[in-house]
């Protein structure tokens, strides 16, 4: 480690590196510690410090992109910055603190905390810009209009299929059976096909995939309930009423989940 100090040169203190790193990430630590090495005439270490900080930031963001969204959301906001800042402080204390302390003891000057914070802020903005550019280039665009069009068709089929319940009250047996089959079960099956097509959209958000899964269960429950009603009418039996009540309760649960209740 360096033994001489350079009173006419400024360094970044441990506290300044700590604060800037917390907000700007490992790349900021690499830059600030690199500036310290330059001031101490250690150009080779300065370049190495920045490269290590840059690669550490890239690896960190790559890991975060690969982790499931629900896992990332479960982590408290300050945990990740706290972890990498703690690691940087340990590195600083081992490799630079002796020279920084010696610099201070010999009357050397230090940069202000505002300068360190400003550098951290600049690096943070640059990283955010790179991340947004990466997302824009690498992640497929979500075809929102295609999804909306599919959901419009789904809703139209659902409205028509649910008319079976009105016909149950006013229609003849022949009309009821026809609607249950041709305008009921067949339309619910069409909606299942629509959901299959929607799930093939590139870049479809996970939230919509979860919604599609609930809608798929909803359609299957409707199909089973329509078949039971059909069977009750053909056999003129109330034997399946408990089963029908159970299915309706399951349908209500799905609808509540879809509405966020």
- Do 15 and 134 lie in a common domain? yes
Q: Which helix (H) or strand (E) is 241 found in, with range?
A: helix 241-259
- Helix, strand, coil fractions of the chain, as percent rounded to 5: 80, 0, 20
- Give SS3 for 106: coil
- Do 24 and 63 lie in a common domain? yes
- Give the domain range for residue 212: 144-259
Whether 196 maps to a domain, the answer reads yes
pLDDT digits (tens, 9 = 90+) for 125-172: 888 888 887 766 665 556 778 889 999 999 999 999 988 888 888 888
Listed in sequence order, the DSSP H helices in 139-240 are 144-161, 164-170, 173-180, 186-198, 206-235
- Do 193 and 74 lie in a common domain? no
pLDDT digits (tens, 9 = 90+) for 107-128: 888 998 888 888 888 988 888 8
Q: Looking at 138, 156, 190, which one is the last position of a domain?
A: 138
pLDDT digits (tens, 9 = 90+) for 165-193: 888 888 888 888 888 888 889 999 999 99
pLDDT digits (tens, 9 = 90+) for 191-232: 999 999 999 888 788 889 999 999 999 999 999 999 998 888
Whether 4 maps to a domain, the answer reads no
- Do 37 and 154 lie in a common domain? no
């Amino acid at each position: 480690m360096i033994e001489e100090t350079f009173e006419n040169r400024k360094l970044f203190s441990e506290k300044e590196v700590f604060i800037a790193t917390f907000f700007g990430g490992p790349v900021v630590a690499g830059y600030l510690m690199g500036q310290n090495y330059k001031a101490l005439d250690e150009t080779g270490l300065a370049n190495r410090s920045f490269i290590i900080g840059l690669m550490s930031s890239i690896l960190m963001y790559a890991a975060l992109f690969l982790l499931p969204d629900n896992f990332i959301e479960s982590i408290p906001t300050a945990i990740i910055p706290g972890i990498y800042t703690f690691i940087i402080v340990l590195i600083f204390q081992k490799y630079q603190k002796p020279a920084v302390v010696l610099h201070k003891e010999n009357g050397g000057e230090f940069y202000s905390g505002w300068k360190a914070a400003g550098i951290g802020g600049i690096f943070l903005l640059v990283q955010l810009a790179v991340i947004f550019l990466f997302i824009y280039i690498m992640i497929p665009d979500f075809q929102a209009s295609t999804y909306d069009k599919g959901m419009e068709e789904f809703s139209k089929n659902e409205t028509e299929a649910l008319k079976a319940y009105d016909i149950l009250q006013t229609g003849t047996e022949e009309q009821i059976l026809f609607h249950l089959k041709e305008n009921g079960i067949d339309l619910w099956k069409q909606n299942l096909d629509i959901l299959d097509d929607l799930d093939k959209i590139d870049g479809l958000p996970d939230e919509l995939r979860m919604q599609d899964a609930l809608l798929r269960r909803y359609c299957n429950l409707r199909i089973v309930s329509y078949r039971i009603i059909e069977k009750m009418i053909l056999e003129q039996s109330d034997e399946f009423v408990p089963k029908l009540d159970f299915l309706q309760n399951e349908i209500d649960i799905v609808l509540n989940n879809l509405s966020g209740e």
